[in-house]
Every structure is written in C-alpha cells, then in structure tokens.
Amino acid sequence: MAASRLYIAVAPGDGIGPEIMDAAMTLFKAAHVDDHADFIPAQMGKEVFDTGNTRGVTDEAVRTIEDCGVLFKGPMETPKGGGGKSINVTLRKLFSTYANFRVFKTLPGVQTVYSKAGIRLDFSIVRENIEDTYGGVEHRLTSDMVQCKRLISAPGSDQVHRFALQTARTLGVSKVHCGHKANIMKMSDGLFLDRFKAAAKDFPEIETGDVIVDALCMNLVVKPQQYKMIVLPNLQGDIVSDLAAGLVGGLGFAPSANIGRHISIFEAVHGTAPDIAGKGIANPTSLILSGIMMLRHVGLVRHAAIIENALLAALETGLHTGDFGDPSLPGYTKEPASTKDFVAGIIAKLGESPKTVPAAPVPEQDAPAFTHAPRPASQQMIRTFTNIVSHVVGCDIYLDTPLSPPAVADEMQRVAQDTPFRLTLISNRGTQVWPSGSVYTECVDYYRVRFELREGVSPGQIGQSRAVTLLDKIAEKFTVCSYELLRVFDGVKGYSMAQGQ
C-alpha cells in the first residue's frame, strides 16, 4: 500500500447500516475525501454470524483492519442465543482499542430539555474499553449462583487515563473528572482512581476531580454543563455514555471513537433499527459525526471541519429526518427528509459555516498525517508495577453446599487442623456469616471460606503449594467452585474484607 494514501477498512453494518454508510460515503466523496483515502471492504456482522462463525468477522476482514489501522463501521447486530458474542466488544478487545471517546454537543435543530432552556452542552466521556465485566468471564458456580469476574488492571487504567488527559490537553479542556465506585469496590475501582491521580501528576495545567458514579448520573441530569471531560471504567462508562447521549437528543447524535496504539475504530453506537431498514428514512448523523472524528484522527482536519460546518449549517435550516426536528427553525417542514435528501442537504452546504453555533476552524492542511505503526511480532505485555515483593498469606475457597454457616465452620476447622492455616471468615454473597453475623442474613448455596496464616507463621515462610494442599483436602468432602490465593504486595493486603467484617 502506497504511503501517500490512506487506507480505511469499512464495514457497513446490519439493519440500517448499509443505508447510513452509503449516506456517509456520498458526503465524503462530495467533500473530496477520496482524493486522499481508499475505503476497503471488511466483511463482518450478521451475514458472518449466519455462517456459524461465532466471532462474527472473517479472517480476511481481520487482516484488512490490521493492514489499514483504521476501521469505519456501521451498527452491528448481536446474535440472540447461539453463543455468538457482541462483535462490537470483540473488535474493541481484539485490537486493544483501550479508550472509547464520545463527544456530546448541543446540535442546532435537535430539541432537548436543555436546548429549550438555552443551555448549550459540550462535554466528552472517555471510557475504558477492554477490561471490567466486559471480559465476559462468567461461570455457573452452583445451582443458584452465577459469577461474572470484574477485571481491572493498572496498565489498562494507565492507558485510558493518559489518553483522556492528553486529549484534554490537545483540545484545551481545563478540567477532567474520574467517575468511579471506589467507595464500594475499594480495590478494583480504587485502583482505577489511584492510577488516575498518578497520571494527573504529569498534566499539572489540568484541574482534576473525582465523582462517585451514582452522584455523577444525578449531576448530569441536574446540571450537565458543570462537566467537560469524564473518564470511567468500562461498564460504568457504557451506562453513563448512553445517559449523556440522551441529554443531547439520543444515540443518533453521539459519535464514537475507539482508540488503540495500533488500530482505531470509528462507529455509530446506536442500534440496527431493523423495523425501518430498507425504507430510506434512517438518520445518518451519528455515523457522519463518527466519520468526522475519524478524518481528524488520520490528519484530514480540513475535510473534517468543512463537513462538520456543512452539517451544522444544514441543521440550522430545519433539515431533519423523522426522528428529530425543531419546528422553530425557518426551513423546518413537517415532512421529514429521506436519508438521501438529508445528505443532499448537507452537501449543498459544503463550504458554508453555521451562524447560530460556533463553527469548526478550517485549517489550511489538506493532506493526511497518519502513520500506521508497524505490525507487532506477537502480543505485547504491558506492565505498571515491577519489583513488587509478594508473599502468600492464605486462600479463599468457594464452596457449593447447602449446609448452615456453623456446620460449614465445623467442617473447615476440622480440615485445617495440622496445616499452617486457620479459618478466619465465612461469607455468603459477600456478607460475613461466621464467626459473627446476623441470623437474619439469608444465605444461598455458595460460601467463601477464608484461611489465613496461623499465629507464629510469618509471610514468606510458605508458598502456594501448602494452600493447594489445603484445597485438595477440602475437595475430598466438598465441591469447590473456585479458589483465590491471598497475598500481600510490599506488605499491603491484596484482598478485601467482607461486608460486616
């Protein structure tokens, strides 16, 4: 592939995807984006799932995306049943696009509670994109209990925080908040928050703050203009991003970028809307806005600004599809525009600037400035903490049993005799039920039994093998669902307490 041109992988998507992708491509062609970029088809989505491919993307498409370094995609359908996972999540994780960047702006012609009140919104959310519960690591542990593992790493947190703060610096954003639930998930969200504070030290010109995610949701509804940029863990970021989209008119007006070191994905995050597919009435605004983000990412900043200004100028005239519209605008008609007419209206405004909202600056640069990093030889290990001294201090063993807490305690104490460990805790659904607790605590058939070093046995005297031996003894009498080693790291406990402990 010639270095003088850009190559962008394209997947139209399912449902209304092909229609809105065609609309975006028609607009890009009119703005002469194809003077600098070739768009390469990448096969994925429903048609691939229907062949029995549970990944939802062909090997050829994966290689095309890897060769291009950029993917532009429409909405994709997630199969219901059958084992196939969300292709959106699969692609983000497969290509390590660790940061999801979404911008929420008040657009002319899009009526909301805030626009009617004269409140203009302009903020962004950066969401960690790979870890958390989106690892999809789930197990049925007992007849009545299912587990989902929540995974938060220091390197993953570092990546997304540095992206957020660097983006804030580039855009001139003066304050960045970290959203979290560290008051409850003290270790996982606590790590995420700690790494935010560590990263912020390298950006002294940016004011930082943190906010508990439930309070954040309330604040966004009551006074959203107080925020400029918010960075969140994956699941919380997913929920808050959709809430934020609702503040500016819905997912049809919320662009999305998934940024990685080697590959980035730009997509519409709304659904496939199969009920209107093929009718030519879909709203392509979200995909167009995502495409504008993509053009800036690859260095076509002049093209991006011209297209953005044309979109804003067209919306000012009252141009709208059936899912939105502001009757107060001079050119508004009750009859909404078709998808093709909507794009034609934007094309007619190319070269113009909006009058009621700030225009995007149009720079002189019109050549691509995108360098696709060389293909790595293998998966890369990312690290934050090194030279940490850790010692085994016990283990948590999870049991499938209908016994009462006192009965479980009797059995566990008997098994632990003549071992370096003593039973210190039994919990059920995270709440302590032994050695103390309440008779009103209802239990299910899934217990955590915790063993810690006996008095006189110091950390470092034993290794993991003694804990595995204890596990083996317990497994002779009980069904062991899972096992977690308890360790201290530089003398700090690497495990949490139970509720009520």
Domain range summary for the chain, segments of one domain joined by +: 122-247, 390-493
- Dmax (CA) for the chain in angstroms is 85
Q: For 230, phi and psi rounded to 5 degrees?
A: -130, 135
* Domain 390-493 falls under CATH 3.30.70.1570: yes
Q: What is the pTM of this model?
A: 0.93
Strands 479-489 and 175-180: unpaired
- 36: part of which helix (H) or strand (E)? none
Residue pair 58/87 in contact (Cβ under 8 Å)? The answer is no
Q: In this predicted structure, what is the pLDDT of residue 148? A: 95
Tokens 């709208």 belong to 320
pLDDT band at 1 (very low <50, low <70, confident <90, very high): very low
Q: In this predicted structure, what is the pLDDT of residue 331? A: 84
Q: What's the rounded Cα separation, in Å, for the pair 95 and 305?
A: 28
Q: What's the rounded Cα separation, in Å, for the pair 367 and 378?
A: 32
DSSP code of residue 135: G
Output the DSSP codes for 142-182.
SSS-EEE--B--HHHHHHHHHHHHHHHHHHT--EEEEEE-T
Average pLDDT, the chain: 94
Tokens representing residue 474 in the block = 């317990």
Chain-centroid distance, C-alpha 53: 24
Closest to 175 measured CA to CA, from 124, 125, 229, 226: 229
Three-state secondary-structure class, residue 105? strand
Could you write out the three-class secondary structure of 408-476? HHHHHHHHHCCCCEEEEEEEECCEEEECCCCCCCCCCCEEEEEEEECCCCCCCCCCHHHHHHHHHHHHC
Q: In this predicted structure, what is the pLDDT of residue 238? A: 96
pLDDT higher than threshold 90 for residue 79: no
Instruction: For residue 279, give the amino acid letter.
Output: K
Residue pair 298/336 in contact (Cβ under 8 Å)? The answer is no
Q: In this predicted structure, what is the pLDDT of residue 54? A: 86
Which positions ≥6 away from 72 have C-beta within 8 Å? 8, 9, 10, 11, 21, 24, 39, 266, 267, 290, 291, 294
Q: In this predicted structure, what is the pLDDT of residue 82? A: 59
Closest to 460 measured CA to CA, from 395, 396, 389: 389
389 CB neighbour count, 10 Å cutoff: 10
The 10s digit of each residue's pLDDT in 174-231 is 999 999 999 999 999 999 999 999 999 999 999 999 999 999 999 999 999 999 999 9
DSSP code of residue 125: E
The mean pLDDT of 400-425, rounded to a whole number, is: 97
Residue pair 246/104 in contact (Cβ under 8 Å)? The answer is no
Q: In this predicted structure, what is the pLDDT of residue 2? A: 40
Bond from prior residue into 435 cis (ω within 30 degrees of 0): yes
Residue pair 453/394 in contact (Cβ under 8 Å)? The answer is yes
Q: For 310, phi and psi rounded to 5 degrees?
A: -65, -40
Tokens representing residue 57 in the block = 């993307």
The mean pLDDT of 101-117, rounded to a whole number, is: 95
pLDDT higher than threshold 60 for residue 143: yes
Strands 492-493 and 264-268: unpaired
Percent of the chain exceeding pLDDT 70 equals 98
The 10s digit of each residue's pLDDT in 439-485 is 999 999 999 999 999 999 999 999 999 999 999 999 999 999 999 99
The 10s digit of each residue's pLDDT in 288-327 is 999 999 999 999 999 999 999 999 999 999 999 999 998 9
The CATH architecture that domain 122-247 belongs to is 3-Layer(aba) Sandwich (3.40)
Q: In this predicted structure, what is the pLDDT of residue 83? A: 57
Closest to 21 measured CA to CA, from 10, 6, 5: 10
The mean pLDDT of 39-44, rounded to a whole number, is: 97
85 CB neighbour count, 10 Å cutoff: 14
Phi-psi domain of 293 (left: phi exceeds 0; alpha: psi -120 through 50; beta: other): alpha
The 10s digit of each residue's pLDDT in 265-287 is 999 999 999 999 999 999 999 99
pLDDT higher than threshold 50 for residue 396: yes
Beta bridge partners of 292: none
pLDDT higher than threshold 50 for residue 358: yes
pLDDT higher than threshold 80 for residue 81: no
Q: What's the rounded Cα separation, in Å, for the pair 390 and 386?
A: 11
The mean pLDDT of 30-50, rounded to a whole number, is: 94
pLDDT higher than threshold 80 for residue 84: no
